[in-house]
Chain A
Amino acid sequence: GAVVSQHPSRVICKSGTSVKIECRSLDFQATTMFWYRQFPKQSLMLMATSNEGSKATYEQGVEKDKFLINHASLTLSTLTVTSAHPEDSSFYICSARGGGWAGELFFGEGSRLTVL
């Protein structure tokens, strides 16, 4: 199957700093990528849909100024958590669609963010 790479896998930062997470599709072009957030023992909550060359579409309740998404190329989307706070600590996972709007998702390895 398709490969999606996410980096970094773990990051610890101080409160108030910004953290950037990268998501790359390694062997296919992804015009659309999705960013999820997952709390321990809970389901995946869609944060935003990242579209190449245009603004991301954010889900209700997700602050677009806090979670900046950039999808500058067909193989790279980035999520920047700005002015991070301890409550932003979570597991962030990106994914890219295999084909069609209801196609299977290929997930990155995830990034575990801990804000001190």
Chain B
Amino acid sequence: GQQVMQIPQYQHVQEGEDFTTYCNSSTTLSNIQWYKQRPGGHPVFLIQLVKSGEVKKQKRLTFQFGEAKKNSSLHITATQTTDVGTYFCRAPIQGAQKLVFGQGTRLTINP
């Protein structure tokens, strides 16, 4: 069945380096959401993308929705230790009023 694939599963960077996580779907998505979960914490909503080719920025975070609305990315510029956590995308399953989470990308940072 349709699912949202998120890569990479893990990413370790030096503080100051950039980081990107990707979510891909085999079918067109009506929208996609991004969440951040700090270690030991609960997921927190970051943003929702709806339009084809949409790009949104939140300080050092840049969110993109592909032109075909089948993929999305979250890019962090110049990571800081506060960026540590797992980043999840969440998107609708085709034909069902239900959204599923991607597998998540766990970001760790070497200070």
Contact = CB atoms under 8 A, between A and B. Distances in A.
Interface residues of A, number: 18
B29 to A, nearest CB: 10
Contacts of A43: 88, 101-104
Chain B interface: which size bin?
20 to 34
A30 B106 CA distance: 30
16 contacts: A1-B45, A43-B102, A43-B103, A44-B88, A44-B101, A93-B42, A98-B45, A102-B30, A102-B92, A102-B99, A105-B35, A105-B45, A105-B90, A106-B45, A107-B43, A110-B41
Nearest to B4: A43
Interface string B77-111: 00000000000101010000111111110100000
Interface of A: 1, 41-44, 46, 93, 95, 98, 101-102, 104-110
B31 interface: yes
B33 interface: yes
B66 to A, nearest CB: 18
Q: Which 3 pairs of residues, A with B, have the shortest CB-CB distance?
A: A107-B42, A104-B45, A101-B97
A113 to B, nearest CB: 15
Contacts of B41: 109-110
A44 B101 CA distance: 7
Contacts, number: 41
Given A104-B45, A107-B43, A109-B41, 5 more contacts: A41-B106, A44-B88, A93-B43, A102-B92, A104-B48
B7 to A, nearest CB: 13
B98 to A, nearest CB: 7
Contacts of A42: 103-104
Contacts of B97: 101-102
B100 A46 contact: yes
Contacts of A109: 41-42
Contacts of B90: 105
